[in-house]
Amino acid sequence: MHVTMLSEQAYEVNGLNIQHILSRKFCVFDLEATGIQAETERIIQIGAVLMVKDGLIPGKTFNTYVKPAKPIPPEIETLTGIYNGDVQHAPGLGEVYGSFLDFAEGTILVTHAGYEFDLPLLQRECARQGLAAPANPCIDTKALFTYLHPEVENIISTDFLLNYYRLESKGIQRHDALGDSLLIGQIFMEMLKELEARNMEHLEITSPVHVKRFQLPPLKKRPHTSPSHEHFPALTRQQRSLFLGMIVLFLLTTSLTGMVDMMTFRLRWNGHLSGNGNPALLVVFILIPLYIALLILTGRSFRQIPGCAKYEAV
């Protein structure tokens, strides 16, 4: 198979040959990275699922964060929901790459926009670390759809394909490697149905297919923060869940206090109002220092993140 980048707007693919495609097993995968330039960015997450023509293989998923050799920019953190704190202690690519190859062994790789991003990104990362690039054949759903529907002039994005095949993405996390792999798997299953309907037992692209490259709008940057805010950068997913749980617990306790106050805070005793205290207030006073302690611990855990001193060049 040959992929030729013609310009910033298009590429050509030719020579893809997969025999008996409807009876093969597939590894649908996606990569998240520190940016959108395959030449310079680093992988931060690998997600994959196994499937056959009839659908996903239950329980066969692969998902891992990868510690990159450069920090994740704030705009990428916002886009993907993956923060520097999430990958700070993650394994390096060399530690998880072998497991990914084992997971995908004997399969046809499937990805979306992979010919222009995921494969070049993975190949460059492998070259930097002296790892062998995957030898599996690879299908890009963009190129396959363009091959099946040359009359469509749109840029073939994931959202376009979801709308075209009337698929739902509700409940699946976008810009997450595993979540996107699940969506790509649904899309690819629809394409396999098209191949079967056309009695195409083999996938043979013997003449160049012209594919439009994806065009992303400029990523939204976060406002600049002052040095006084550097101790409180973006939280990890676990910290955000804990933080939210504390807030909900605090609000519930406060609500309970109000209810108890209305019902039992003051009792009549010999015609006078007693000053009996509300036990729920004790819980509130306990939660306040815990809430403050959470903020302090969160700040301490991220103090080294802005400079990313723990990231090593590869």
Q: What is the pLDDT of residues 250-284, one digit of tens each?
A: 776 666 666 655 555 444 444 454 445 555 555 55
Is residue 291 scored above 80 in pLDDT? no
Question: pLDDT value at position 237?
Answer: 61
Q: What is the pLDDT of residue 285?
A: 65
Q: Domains of the chain: which residue ranges?
A: 2-212, 228-301
The pTM (predicted TM-score) of the whole model is: 0.72
The residue with greater pLDDT, 233 or 8, is 8
55 Rama class: left (phi>0) / alpha (psi -120 to 50) / beta: left
Q: Would you say residue 10 has pLDDT above 90?
A: yes
Q: Output b/e per residue, 193-214; b: 16+ Cβ within 10 A.
A: eebeeeeeeebebeeebebbbb
pLDDT for the residue 217: 60
Q: Cβ of 270: how many Cβ atoms within 10 Å?
A: 5
| Beta carbons within 10 angstroms of residue 190's beta carbon | 16
pLDDT at 311 exceeding the cut of 60: no
Mean pLDDT of the 148-156 span: 95
Between residues 242 and 277, the one the model is more confident about: 242
Assign domain 2-212 to its CATH architecture: 2-Layer Sandwich (3.30)
